[in-house]
Amino acid sequence: MPRVLFRLSAPPPVPGATLFLTGTHRGWSDGVEGWTFGPDGVLAAELPPGALLNVKVRALAPDGTVTEEGDAWGGRAPAHRLVVRGDTTLDLPVAGWQDGRAGRERPTRSAPPQGTLMLAAPWGEQPVRLWSPGDVEGDLPLLILHDGQNVFDEGPSFAGESWDAAGAAQALADAGFPCRLAALPVNEDRSRRYVPFAFELNSFESGADGYADWLRDALLPHLRGRFGPVPPQRVALAGSSFGGLITAYAGLRDPGTYGTLGVFSPAIWPADHAFLRWLEGRADAQARVWLDMGDHEGDTLESAAALVTLTHDLAARLRPRVAGVHLTIGEGHWHDEPAWRERLPGFLRWWLTGLQG
């Protein structure tokens, strides 16, 4: 098997800590045996060819607590990535360690929202981050985005990466296709709110129906009261991963509510792919669906190819149930914000130009 050298450069963690490597190849285990870095900061491992690695450095303190590498502002950092094709070396520059700041001081590269409103929801107050293009008036198409902490600026984002949604939407507005954005941040309750089936990560208690009800019965009426009576055919719902799953679920559960569904890299695996069984008998003849997947969204090149095949199968299942399906496979795209940022402009153009017909 190919031999990979992991070469670490990192600021010191707590005194006496043991630095070790974890990642997708280990199921993100905190076990240190066999995966600790030597005094020279080097770790050697044999890994199967075709492995798609997402790895991070963690520190095991003498008191047993584990701290994961972070960015320079104490927040979560993106994983280091590698496609194993042969013997190689992967440098692991670590900027800092996650701490109580949680990245709140992280600077941004992309445009922030123009404002945030707070709406009552069954789970408490729900922030709604809003953006509209400059110098455009009147009723505009509306896009509602899940994982709203990630879609605008990098400061509050999960791992210092965002979709740059305002930048993409402004470019379309400049081309004559304006829209309005409303993004919904989520917290550690994400798996319960976004996954409509009971499984381990939501403690076998889904809250997706309550979330979909709130979108339909509270959020949409409030936004229409604030911005004007946007008809359903000009309302889009979009999200990635579990956000893609809840987008497809909410849209097909409540036909006639959304005219377009942006289903980015949908994670349909919970409860043994229960979504595929739920899909039988569901339809919305008026809804258009954007469906996409990257070709590096797996643990190996083989499993990533299988996921692309599954996405083609999902598109085939959806086509007789909706007004149309646009399928995109992102070449070289992993399961992360940079990939969704790259595909977002294509979705916006497809959605907005389709409203002109």
Question: Does the structure show a pLDDT above 80 at 205?
Answer: yes
Residue closest to 293 by CA, chosen among 258, 271, 269, 277: 269
Residue 293 CA to residue 297 CA, distance in Å, equals: 8
On the question of pLDDT at 158 being above 90, the answer is: no
As a whole number of angstroms, the distance between CA 165 and CA 152 comes to 5
Task: Say whether pLDDT at 138 is over 80.
Answer: no
Q: For residue 229, what are its two tokens?
A: 């009576």
- pLDDT tens-place string over residues 66-109: 999 999 999 999 999 999 999 999 999 999 999 988 778 898 89
Checking if the pLDDT of 116 tops 90, the result is: yes
Q: Are strands 322-330 and 284-294 parallel, antiparallel or unpaired?
A: parallel
The strand pair at 52-60 and 18-23 is best described as antiparallel
**CB-based contact 62:33 (threshold 8 Å):** no
What is the pLDDT at residue 357? 60
Domains and CATH numbers, the chain: 3-97 (2.60.40.10), 115-354 (3.40.50.1820)
Q: Can you give the pLDDT at residue 31?
A: 96
